Chains A and B, each alone.
Chain A
Amino acid sequence: MSVVILRKNSTLFFLFLYVMVCNAQGRVTGMVMDQNSNPIPETSIQILELQNKGTVSDFDGKFNLEIPSGSYTLQASFVGFKKYIKKIVVSNSKTTSLTIVLQEDIKELSDVIVKAKSNAQNTREKAFEVEVVQTKGLKNVSVDVNSILMTIPGVNVRQRGGLGSGFDFSLNGLSGKQVKFFIDGIPLENFGSSLSLNNFPATLVERAEVYKGVVPIYLGADALGGAVNIITNQRKNDFLDVSYDIGSFNTHRATINGQYYGKKGFAVKVSSFYNYSDNDYKIDGIEIRDELGNDTGIRRDNVRRFHDAYNSQMIRVETGFIDKNFADKLLVGITASANKNEIQHPIDPQNPFGEVFTENDVIKAAVTFEKANLLKEKFKVKLYASIGQNNDKVVDTSARKYDWFGNFIERGDQNLGELEFSKTLFEFKDNTHLINAFGSYKINDWSKFTINYTKNYIKRKGEDPARIGRIPFNDPHIINKNIFGVSYDLGLFDATWNTTLFAKGYLLNSEGIIEDSFTTVESDRFTKIENTFEELGYGFASTYKFSDHVQIKGSFEKTFRIPDGYEVFGDGFLLKSNPELLPEESYNANLGVLLNTNINKFKLRFDTNIFLRESENFVAIRSEGIFSRFYNTAAARSTGVEGEIRTLYNDILFLDLNATYQNIIDRNVGENSGVDFLKNQRIANIPYLFGNARIGCNLKDIFSTNDQITFSWGSYYVHDYPLTSFVEGDPNERDIIPEQLSHNVQLGYSFKKGTYNISVQARNVTDERVYDNFEIQQPGRAFYVKLRYYLTNKN
């Protein structure tokens, strides 16, 4: 009986409890994100004890559950991530708030590409033609951002030497200022060579997004041919990431990356790099000349470069508050960077320099504010403002003429510089400020309205203590660039058809004073010049998902590159003004297909895109006597196809292949001159067929649990291409940039869950003679060892 009573009692007790709980439901809210703090929508959230209780996270990764008070086990799971399990205690009428960081499941990854629906995948599935590279697997390897971007179809990076050397980045055939670079959405265009991409080791970067031809409005710039956005650390955990690598040619690279989150939302972030290399690799085919300069006919191989050292360093410190009522993010930061680059030779490598170098330093202070969930959780805002100073200096004070063996003679004319016609200490100082404002309003579940404004202001002034008389930019020049963007996003049919429509307004003002030193009328001597460009660009991007396996994408943009101030009104000295200069403009279009499939243990992703860039008014410099001037020159058309296959077998073996073919023609030259064979002639000195292959494996739990061995072999191919013309000149006499096939091999070992990492890399392992530019030889075989220590409080 007693048992029965007890049972009754217990039933009663449970009934009582149940009633109490019903009256006193608790609430669990939270947000699911990946390690980079990007929200993960559609994550399944379950309370294991309550079989029917669960939910999925919304588009912003948020979820909300009402459950009775008590202790439970919460499980969050999503394809490609490890299951997250946590004990929670829900108490009466209270809200339990959780931030769930899902760890990517390494088994699901090839080392570069996240096969799961990570943030990268989300970006990739956007309607824009975008490539995303996760640097996760590359953080242990001695590579910089440029060498990662080189593995993307459509991208070609031509280096002029070793670490820190100049480079030309081209995207679907457009290059130079036509492609714009961003760090965390902030344009880099007014900052000097110490912050260019080749300085950033992969360790400091989370991922890179490459937008091909059609660029979303939040990247505010006049990008004619696309944009590259480098995303740095966005994580919300404490960590310390330190790396050091050492390699051939006395190369040293170190990075520190870390952050600390205090309990009250206070945060400190630090990231820093240091790069050094002598770049003293050996080159071949050096002409031996007698003391007068006559060619002896002798050529010497294995000549060491002797004046090519590069060093750069950067530190960025940010501090502020995260996840407070008044802001999701409020950070102030300071970035300081500097470099020194010795210049070994001009375009012609037969003519070495021994003393000239350039220097760049940048200091920048910025404030960032982000707040979501305004206006009934529908409005999100991001603000950024910075002021900075950029100094670029050329130190060319030697009249010596060096040979390739380090010997020199004093030249007869002691006024000569090595690089310049006369000695120089030319320096320009740029004062810059930059404002970026972004707002996004969610109209309803299937549509969104976004605005973006970017102001990029630069005031440039030149100085040269080594010269008397006139120097470039003696009077300051000002460029004030304003880019406005609006876009409307629409998702239809359960978000299987997503479209973005956008328009961009470009407003550029430049002003300066030009001195005409040749005038005889004193009142004509100084002229204030002002110039305004106003252009309207527009475009769309649309994608339709037939299934989880098949997606098509199309995008289009009419876009501009507004000429910089000095292109329009010169440098106030030998570069003359051309007030009639028009912006470069281009109609860009992409059409692509994405396929994903899993066949047993075999995972396959295929991605292809055809592109068109119909461009006009390319701006190029032309000489006129002692002067030069920028003119609108070619109208070009770049068409091509690029494709990529990524495969993964049994989560161990991977093979990635990609290739790009592009045909770039000049639409004007033959037409205007009446020369038939030059009609629609191909433009020389641009690679037109290139590709990458990578094969490798990831092995886990070898010597201990949670260790990993990674091995990969990467090959890079560029078909040969002519320097000056595809049709002109005797085919046997044409200057050719030869076919390039180089191989990099790397072996890495990580243990203690990635806390300790060591990798060995051999670049150009077959010691090929590699040229990215005519006759400018790239480094031969080189070895690097990298050590990395990664400590975090969340794993």
Chain B
Amino acid sequence: MKIINCIKYLMLLAVVSILATSCSSDDDGGPIVDPPPASVSKYVVGFQALPVGDASPVDYILELPSLESLTTGEISVEGQGTPLKGWRFFHNVKNTVFTAGYSDDDKCIAYGLDEDGKLIEKGNFAFQSTLDNYSAIDDKTLLAVELTYSGLSDKRFHIINSETGKLEKIVEHPIDIDKGDGTAKNPGTIPWVTGMVLRDGKLFVSYHKWMADGSYVTPDVGRAYVAVFKYPEFELEKIIYDDRTSPIGVNGHSTGIEKTENGDIYSFSTSALSAGFTSAIKPSGILRIKNGTTEFDKDYFFDVENAPNGGKLFWMDYVGDGKAIARIIIDDTIGPWGVFKETGNFFKLVVIDLENKTVTDVQGMPTHANRYTSPMYVEDGKAYLSSYAGTETHVYIVDPKTATATKGAKVQGLALKGIFKVTN
């Protein structure tokens, strides 16, 4: 495999050098006209390495030459990739990949390709406290929000320019804080953002709530809620509620609400005690906010928990053509935050048809663990996911049309935290 990789790189090198030399020979004669530089595309992954010794796993940013690197062979950071500090999030806005530290590092770094197609750091900024939720709200903007498990302070939205990698503005807003009365019995509640979607000048923000005393107790679990802001003014228009399911989203995931091609917004609610909620009284399910409206669609609710092949959703991400890919918790009784371990057989993978409200088990994908998932990479209608099953991690290529997964490249690490394609 190493040899194959080597040959691949040599071939790539050869191609690049031929291009380079042909360019320079072009330049030799005639008037100096800069030819339009050939556009270069690369795949960039957030690679979580296996921990050696008693250290914590290290995250790398690694470039891959082609889609084939994801589908066959091995993906490794042996001799390549850039090590980063501490546990990290990975997100992208078009051709910029962002990676932000969780607790050991307080920097968010932007990477992109330079004119020569080389992966470079575009810029970075330091934040005050962990940015826990991210969304590419348009082609130029990453929106990231600072959240806390206790305290009554405003949530801080960071507006980041993806072209420069710079933080441009911070907007503070309480979203939905109940200040309580300061006593142990009534300490108040605070929102925890789980998804952000911008549509027609309106920012939809899904969240669940914590008690403000740092007890990690989730109150108000009998309904789902989404705050609707005027954007970019960040004026709160209203908060919409729906009591057919529980609060939207799961800690660590940024896809609590997502927009489809036709502008509809779908949400997922977990109601799972193993996924960070301390009580669950409504079924796990999916709601919709139709395009052009700012209310939950009263005519739409998909009770995934009680559907055939269903169960409690841990994660869901829209793939296209009215379909989403989701992880369903196999056993919700394994204890608080039980499915957040790095390894285990916690989930099955399913395809959800949002319109027709069906759940189909994905064939070819074993039960697995996956604590953290960046927004899924989709190319030609197929989703590329990294999952740890048995003792190994592979890229799985999921075809939502047939609900089948094929095992792709072996990841010589714990996980690919994010898969992205960038073009210069």
Instruction: List residues of chain A with CB under 8 Å of any chain B CB.
Output: 287, 289, 292-295, 346-348, 350-351, 401, 411-416, 421-422, 467-470, 516-518, 520, 618-620, 622-627, 633-634, 636, 664, 666, 669, 672-675, 677-678, 681-686, 723-725, 727-731, 733-735
CB of B156 within 8 A of CB of A734, answer: no
Given contacts A412-B146, A725-B83, contact A618 B54 (CB under 8 A): yes
- B43 beta carbon closer than 8 Å to chain A: no
CB of B341 within 8 A of CB of A624, answer: yes
Closest CB-CB distance, A479 to chain B, in whole Å? 21
Chain B window 38-64, contacts with chain A (Cβ cutoff 8 Å), 1 for yes, 0 for no: 000000000001111111101010000
Given contacts A673-B392, A683-B53, contact A470 B215 (CB under 8 A): yes
Binds A, one of B123-131, B197-205, B228-236, B297-305: B123-131
- Look across to chain A and name the residue whose beta carbon is closest to the beta carbon of B339: A625
A-B residue pairs in contact (CB < 8 Å), sample of 21: A289-B126, A293-B167, A294-B125, A348-B105, A411-B129, A412-B128, A412-B153, A415-B151, A422-B149, A518-B216, A619-B54, A625-B251, A625-B252, A625-B276, A633-B51, A675-B412, A677-B78, A678-B50, A728-B78, A728-B79, A730-B81
CB of A469 within 8 A of CB of B213, answer: yes
> From DSSP, what is the main secondary structure of chain A's interface residues?
loop
Given contacts A684-B53, A728-B60, contact A295 B83 (CB under 8 A): no
8 A Cβ contacts from B103-149 to A: 104-106, 123-129, 146, 148-149
CB of B54 within 8 A of CB of A413, answer: no
- B337 beta carbon closer than 8 Å to chain A: yes
Closest CB-CB distance, B57 to chain A, in whole Å? 9
Among B55, B77, B166, B371, max chain A CB count under 10 A is at: B55
Closest CB-CB distance, A702 to chain B, in whole Å? 53
Query: Please, which residues of chain B bring their CB within 8 A of the CB of A626?
Result: 149, 216, 251, 276, 337
Query: Please, which residues of chain B bring their CB within 8 A of the CB of A729?
Result: 60, 77, 79-83
Q: Cα distance A731–B50 when bound, in Å?
A: 18
CB of B215 within 8 A of CB of A517, answer: yes
Q: Cα distance A620–B151 when bound, in Å?
A: 30
Given contacts A293-B126, A412-B153, A734-B83, contact A728 B77 (CB under 8 A): yes
Which one, B52, B77, B106, B154, contacts A681 given CB within 8 A? B52
Chain B window 68-91, contacts with chain A (Cβ cutoff 8 Å), 1 for yes, 0 for no: 000000001111111101010000
- B279 beta carbon closer than 8 Å to chain A: yes
Query: Please, which residues of chain A bring their CB within 8 A of the CB of B341?
Result: 624
Q: Cα distance A78–B172 when bound, in Å?
A: 80
Closest CB-CB distance, A483 to chain B, in whole Å? 24
User: 14 extra interchain contacts, Cβ-Cβ under 8 A, other than A292-B168, A468-B214?
Assistant: A295-B125, A348-B106, A413-B154, A416-B128, A518-B278, A520-B278, A624-B340, A666-B53, A674-B391, A684-B55, A725-B49, A725-B58, A728-B83, A730-B79
Closest CB-CB distance, B103 to chain A, in whole Å? 8
Q: Cα distance A619–B54 when bound, in Å?
A: 7
Closest CB-CB distance, A421 to chain B, in whole Å? 7
Query: Please, which residues of chain B bring their CB within 8 A of the CB of A685?
Result: 53, 55
- Look across to chain A and name the residue whose beta carbon is closest to the beta carbon of B126: A293
- Look across to chain A and name the residue whose beta carbon is closest to the beta carbon of B184: A468
Query: Please, which residues of chain A bring their CB within 8 A of the CB of B127?
Result: 293
- Look across to chain A and name the residue whose beta carbon is closest to the beta carbon of B124: A295
Given contacts A415-B152, A517-B215, A620-B54, contact A730 B104 (CB under 8 A): no
Instruction: List residues of chain B with CB under 8 Å of any chain A CB.
Output: 49-56, 58, 60, 76-83, 85, 87, 104-106, 123-129, 146, 148-154, 156, 166-170, 172, 184, 187, 213-217, 251-252, 273, 276, 278-279, 336-337, 340-342, 371, 391-392, 412
CB of B153 within 8 A of CB of A669, answer: no
Which one, A348, A625, A681, contacts B85 given CB within 8 A? A348
CB of B52 within 8 A of CB of A350, answer: no
Q: Cα distance A666–B54 when bound, in Å?
A: 9
Q: Cα distance A777–B392 when bound, in Å?
A: 39
Q: Cα distance A470–B273 when bound, in Å?
A: 20
- Look across to chain A and name the residue whose beta carbon is closest to the beta carbon of B336: A518
Query: Please, which residues of chain A bring their CB within 8 A of the CB of B126?
Result: 287, 289, 293, 295, 350-351
Q: Cα distance A468–B181 when bound, in Å?
A: 13
CB of A413 within 8 A of CB of B128, answer: yes
Q: Total A-B pairs in contact (CB under 8 Å)?
A: 197
Q: Cα distance A516–B85 when bound, in Å?
A: 33
CB of A292 within 8 A of CB of B125, answer: yes
CB of A517 within 8 A of CB of B217, answer: yes
- Look across to chain A and name the residue whose beta carbon is closest to the beta carbon of B108: A293
Q: Cα distance A787–B130 when bound, in Å?
A: 50
Closest CB-CB distance, B74 to chain A, in whole Å? 9
Closest CB-CB distance, B416 to chain A, in whole Å? 15
Query: Please, which residues of chain B bring their CB within 8 A of the CB of A673?
Result: 50, 391-392, 412
Query: Please, which residues of chain A bring their CB within 8 A of the CB of B53?
Result: 618, 633-634, 636, 664, 666, 683-686
Closest CB-CB distance, A202 to chain B, in whole Å? 33
Among B51, B54, B81, B105, max chain A CB count under 10 A is at: B54
Query: Please, which residues of chain B bring their CB within 8 A of the CB of A469?
Result: 150, 184, 187, 213-215
> From DSSP, what is the main secondary structure of chain B's interface residues?
loop
Query: Please, which residues of chain A bring their CB within 8 A of the CB of B76?
Result: 675, 677, 728
CB of B153 within 8 A of CB of A415, answer: yes
Query: Please, which residues of chain B bring their CB within 8 A of the CB of A295?
Result: 123-126
CB of A413 within 8 A of CB of B146, answer: yes
Q: Cα distance A619–B53 when bound, in Å?
A: 10
Query: Please, which residues of chain B bring their CB within 8 A of the CB of A294?
Result: 123-125, 166-167
Query: Please, which residues of chain A bring their CB within 8 A of the CB of B213?
Result: 468-469
Closest 9 CB pairs of A and B: A415-B151, A625-B340, A683-B53, A625-B337, A620-B54, A413-B153, A293-B126, A518-B336, A733-B82
CB of A622 within 8 A of CB of B151, answer: no
Query: Please, which residues of chain B bring their CB within 8 A of the CB of A416?
Result: 128-129, 148, 151
Q: Cα distance A295–B167 when bound, in Å?
A: 10
Query: Please, which residues of chain B bring their CB within 8 A of the CB of A731?
Result: 79
Given contacts A669-B52, A725-B52, contact A414 B153 (CB under 8 A): yes
CB of B148 within 8 A of CB of A413, answer: yes
CB of B337 within 8 A of CB of A624, answer: yes
- Look across to chain A and name the residue whose beta carbon is closest to the beta carbon of B127: A293
Q: Cα distance A729–B76 when bound, in Å?
A: 9
- Look across to chain B and name the residue whose beta carbon is closest to the beta carbon of A414: B153
Query: Please, which residues of chain A bring their CB within 8 A of the CB of B125?
Result: 289, 292-295
Which one, B49, B148, B170, contacts A292 given CB within 8 A? B170
CB of B104 within 8 A of CB of A348, answer: yes
- Look across to chain B and name the residue whose beta carbon is closest to the beta carbon of A731: B79
Query: Please, which residues of chain B bring their CB within 8 A of the CB of A724?
Result: 49, 55, 58, 83
CB of B149 within 8 A of CB of A633, answer: no
Which one, A351, A414, A634, contacts B52 given CB within 8 A? A634
Q: Cα distance A350–B76 when bound, in Å?
A: 30
Closest CB-CB distance, A306 to chain B, in whole Å? 18
Q: Cα distance A412–B147 when bound, in Å?
A: 11
- Look across to chain B and name the residue whose beta carbon is closest to the beta carbon of A348: B105
Q: Cα distance A672–B51 when bound, in Å?
A: 12
- Look across to chain B and name the residue whose beta carbon is closest to the beta carbon of A726: B52
Q: Cα distance A468–B54 when bound, in Å?
A: 34
Closest CB-CB distance, A260 to chain B, in whole Å? 49
Query: Please, which residues of chain B bring their CB within 8 A of the CB of A468?
Result: 184, 187, 213-214
Query: Please, which residues of chain A bring their CB within 8 A of the CB of B273?
Result: 518
Query: Please, which residues of chain A bring their CB within 8 A of the CB of B81?
Result: 728-730, 733
Q: Cα distance A672–B336 when bound, in Å?
A: 28
Which one, B151, B184, B216, B251, contacts A422 given CB within 8 A? B151
Which one, B123, B151, B168, B169, contacts A414 given CB within 8 A? B151
Closest CB-CB distance, B88 to chain A, in whole Å? 13
- Look across to chain A and name the residue whose beta carbon is closest to the beta carbon of B337: A625
Query: Please, which residues of chain A bring their CB within 8 A of the CB of B342?
Result: 622, 624
Among B128, B154, B167, B279, max chain A CB count under 10 A is at: B128
Among B50, B78, B392, max chain A CB count under 10 A is at: B50
Closest CB-CB distance, A466 to chain B, in whole Å? 11
Given contacts A414-B153, A728-B60, A731-B79, contact A675 B128 (CB under 8 A): no
Q: Cα distance A411–B371 when bound, in Å?
A: 30
